[in-house]
Structure 1
Amino acid sequence: MSDTDLELASRRAIYQRVAAEPGIHFRALLADLDYAQGTLQYHLRWLADESLIEESDDGKYTRYYPAAEFDEDDQTVMNALRRKYSRRVLAHLLTDGPLSTSELADRLDKADSTISWHLSKLADADLVTKERDGRRVVYEVTDPDRVATLYTVHRGSFTDRIVDRLLGLWDSY
């Protein structure tokens, strides 16, 4: 990246926000920064065209990452970690897994159907696997080291004290 790439204060502020909170989505950027929607769209497109940021579609949001810092698998994990209940499901599976939908629903105080939806999205992204254990189906994190590392490195950009307590054992990770 050359010095002139980020010479505009607005463009630099957007890039710095994306770098500080990898996986941030458009609406969060719009809420955090004092720019008109069109201005933000223009600068994000310019940053992407100049290969300074990358876009990742998580099915609901387009999320933004500093270019070349996150491979596709990392972006998939970060997309899930940016969703509150997916992050909590992953935290429980990492600390106490494998767990069933009902066990996760009890721990998260959510309906089985809600947890099932999040598990389905996580399974579609190859972040969890499911296996039959007798009469129940249990879920487990596919790559716990990757999830734990990305959570630990970027945990300051997540605002979830519950997960911080669950994963507090990784302070020295």
Structure 2
Amino acid sequence: MGIRHLLPAPGAMAILLIAVTLILLPTASAEASAIVGTVLDKATGDPIEGANVTVSFSGNGTVVAELRTDGEGKFRVDGLSNDVYTVHIEAGGYIGSTGEVLVDSGTYGGDEFTFTGSLSPVTGPGTTAPSSGITLPQFLIMGILVAATSLVLYSKIKRENLLRNAIRRRIFEHVEANPGAHYRGILKELDLPMGVLSYHLNVLEKGKYLKSRQDGMYRRFFLVGRRTEVRFFLSDVQESIMTVIRDDQGISQSNIADRINVSRKVVNYHARILDQAGLIYMESQGREMACYTSERPVSSIP
């Protein structure tokens, strides 16, 4: 009954060591990202040392970091998760400026998001505005407007690379599978922060991947170049108008208004929409417009 009987066999020992090693290995997780910025004098282009920088979540206003720029006008905020952040910069003798930065590093994170902010100098005592008939208050207002647009975010993306972003691809594929999906519905289905969804929808629209139109209280999104039948998104009034016209071809707008108990102006408004969509057509009969269901193909949403 030697001690050797209590020890595991060499093969078992190797398996045990591998298991212990795997347990002790750190689990890979997404790295935090960073915003790296520079604050410059709008007039001279020189860096501004000691400018105050406040970074907060755009959604709820919670402050993430408050810091000052270094001697080269630079600053860095680490430890950021994917979200939309508001960056406010100000310095003595300058008009403050505020902008937004989207931090979107995909699955693994660890990216740096760089932008440059420029501040316009405030005119001091005894300083006059440019000699163009502009008063000092007007000059200051113009300076504020310039400063508000001077926080340039360098995130230009080529169109062919837009769908390489994981979040944008999810949004695009969701709209592709659900043409006419509205903003709130997309927000709920994809569980994204409002600022992130708004940003990516805007990018996809500018990139000509998506288009949108207002449908009552909803803004609906569609793929560019895809034919989508309008009839799936008719309002209750439009459905009622279509039903009346189907039952009584050539009926006037006045009679339609009487049938569905709305004003003639309301009927005229919706009839023009239906006509543009190719669902009906109208013919002038004296002072009235006769309405007919269209035999033309249903057009796609423009």
TM-score when normalising by structure 1? 0.53
Asked if 1 retains the 8 angstrom alpha-carbon contact of 2:187 and 2:194, the reply is yes
Amino acid at match of 1:146: V
Amino acid at match of 2:263: D
Of residues 148, 173, 185, the one that matches 1:16 is 173
State the aligned residue count: 139
Distance 2:251 2:263 in 1: 13
- 1:64 correspondence with 2:211: no
Unaligned runs of 5+ in 1: 151-173
Asked if 2 retains the 8 angstrom alpha-carbon contact of 1:101 and 1:112, the reply is no
Amino acid at match of 1:131: E
Which aligned pairs between 1:90-109 and structure 2 lie closer than 5 A? 90=242, 92-94=244-246, 96-105=248-257, 109=260
Percent identity over the alignment? 24
Cα drift, residue 82 of structure 1: 1.9
Distance 2:186 2:205 in 1: 15
Q: Quote the residue 1:82 is aligned against.
A: 233
- 1:118 correspondence with 2:276: no
| Higher RCO structure (Cα 8 Å, ≥6 apart) | 1
Q: Quote the residue 2:106 is aligned against.
A: none
Cα drift, residue 45 of structure 1: 2.1
More strand by share: 2
Asked if 2 retains the 8 angstrom alpha-carbon contact of 1:126 and 1:142, the reply is no
Question: After superposition, what is the alpha-carbon deviation per residue over 1:49-82, rounded to whole angstroms, capped at 9, x for unaligned?
Answer: 4443234567986542213223xxx6xx63x752
* CA spacing shift, 1:81–1:41, aligned 2, 3 Å: same
Distance 1:20 1:93 in 2: 32
Q: Quote the residue 1:26 is aligned against.
A: 183
More helix by share: 1
Of residues 137, 140, 163, the one that matches 1:5 is 163
Question: After superposition, what is the alpha-carbon deviation per residue over 1:22-56, rounded to whole angstroms, capped at 9, x for unaligned?
Answer: 23343443455433321111121232344432345
Distance 1:6 1:104 in 2: 51
Q: Quote the residue 2:137 is aligned against.
A: none
What is the RMSD of the two structures over their aligned residues, measured on CA atoms?
4.1
Amino acid at match of 1:20: A
SS at match of 1:140: strand
